[in-house]
Structure 1
């Protein structure tokens, strides 16, 4: 075993051990509960745009994008545009022809202006409308028809029915070896007060993932990513297409 292989094996073992360390897992869960109430995810930006994400998940996304090198990333949920700018910048670094399609039911005027004036806009295509509407799904499928490696990220309305609708609409576009990443599955795992939200325990992205996987064996949950990150809004939401 050479030095590179030795290091990679050490990392693999470290990740496996973390996933079995109950004390560490409990500490991570406590951190998530406290930081969600503190709106921790709102503290970060990428290239000037608020990203509204945990840095650990964004590092995982970087690793996945580098692994897959997709020529299309479909993201449901634009908000301030930080994540689509982030993904576009990674595609720019890869240097091929990849683009990001960002979908949102309401792209606010000030956000649209700042996204459209951003240097990474050259790799971004915005679609305004419901991610599960026939019109938007058809538009995305038309773009996807010309692409070879496709990745999907779901981060819009977090109710069970909406996320399940997105999974049924877009997961089949994911190419073998690529990923469908479902964010905010953490809602199911925490005891936070979700009052005022249309989602909560029993009705959220994780329950949608469970329902989707009952009838779909093409995807597997990448538990190793959860063990690696510990801190994540998407536990059980990193789905890899294996067939």
Structure 2
């Protein structure tokens, strides 16, 4: 066993232990509950654009993108565009290191605001980005996405738009087929299920009606995906517990 492999094995063992540590996991949940009212995730940028993600999840996505080496990253939810820029930058780094040279990012949002579109289109990473406007659960829009992806060998899917159970369940139905063995389907904001009842008083989602409940339902009838427990056990602070889904068979 190489020194690196030994180090990785030790890390895996340590991660499994920390993921089962009730004091550590409870402290992580309590910290997130305190940070959420302060809009913690809104305060970070990637290459000049707001990304609205936890730094821990950004690191996890970097690791996934490096491991998968996708030739397409498809994301629902664009907002300020930071996540699109992040994904495009990671693909640019992959290409510089010998990965897919023409890898692309496809972003979909029901409302791409003019000032955000302008900022994204002016960004150097836009050369790898295509944007579509429309509902991610509209059958005609989904057909355009599937057409765009039809010649791609390895697709990574990220769901981060409307967070209601019904909406995410439909997204999973429409887009999970894009992901093949070895790649990932990442569902963000599953943490809503673990947060206080009154955490989102002005939103249509909450406990019992959120991305995590949609993931749980999806996995009951789909054996192509498994929850990557090692990712959330490693991060501890993540908006996507049970949301990192690895495709284990085509």
TM-score category, normalised to shorter length? over 0.9
TM-score by length of 2: 0.96
Bigger mean CA deviation after superposition, 187-196 or 69-78: 187-196
Q: Which structure 1 segments of 5+ residues have no match?
A: none
How far apart, CA to CA, are the structure 1 residues paired with 2:47 and 2:187?
23
What is the deviation of 1:176?
1.1
CA deviation vs aligned residue, 1:52-75 (integer Å, no higher than 9, x gap): 000000100000000000000110
Q: Indicate the residue corresponding to 2:234 in structure 1.
A: 228
Could you say what secondary structure the match of 1:84 adopts? helix
RMSD: 0.8
Show CA shifts across 1:156-205 (max 9, x none): 00000000000000011111110000000000011152111000000000
Taking the TM superposition and a 5 Å limit, the aligned residue runs for 1:105-144 are: 105-144=110-149
**Is residue 11 of structure 2 the alignment partner of residue 3 of structure 1?**
no
Q: Which moved more, 1:220-229 or 1:185-194?
A: 185-194
Aligned to 1:217: 223
1:13-24 alignment, distance < 5 Å: 13-24=13-24
Q: Does 1:242 align with 2:248?
A: yes
Q: TM-score, normalised by structure 1?
A: 0.98
Residues paired across the two proteins, number: 243
- Choose from 155, 166, 173 the match for 2:171: 166
2:204 is matched with which residue?
198
1:32 alignment partner in structure 2: 32
Give the superposition deviation at 1:32. 0.9
The alignment status of 1:68 with 2:74, answered yes or no, reads: no
Q: How does 1:146-161 map to 2 (within 5 A)?
A: 146-161=151-166
For residues 115-164 of structure 1, the C-alpha deviation after alignment (integer angstroms, 9 at most, x for no partner) is 01110111000000001112210111011111000010000000000000
1 CA distance for matches of 2:18 and 2:52? 26
> Aligned partners of 1:222 and 1:193: how far apart in 2?
26
Residue matched to 1:58: 58
Inter-partner Cα distance in structure 1 for 2:116 and 2:3 = 47
- Aligned with 1:60: secondary structure? helix
Q: How many angstroms does 1:48 deviate by? A: 0.4
Q: Following the alignment from structure 1 to structure 2, what is the Cα–Cα distance between the partners of residues 106 and 82?
A: 16
Residue-by-residue CA offset, 1:99-122 (whole Å, 9 max, x unaligned) = 010000000000000001110111
CA distance in 2, matches of 1:136, 1:93: 30
Unaligned runs of 5+ residues in structure 2 are 96-100
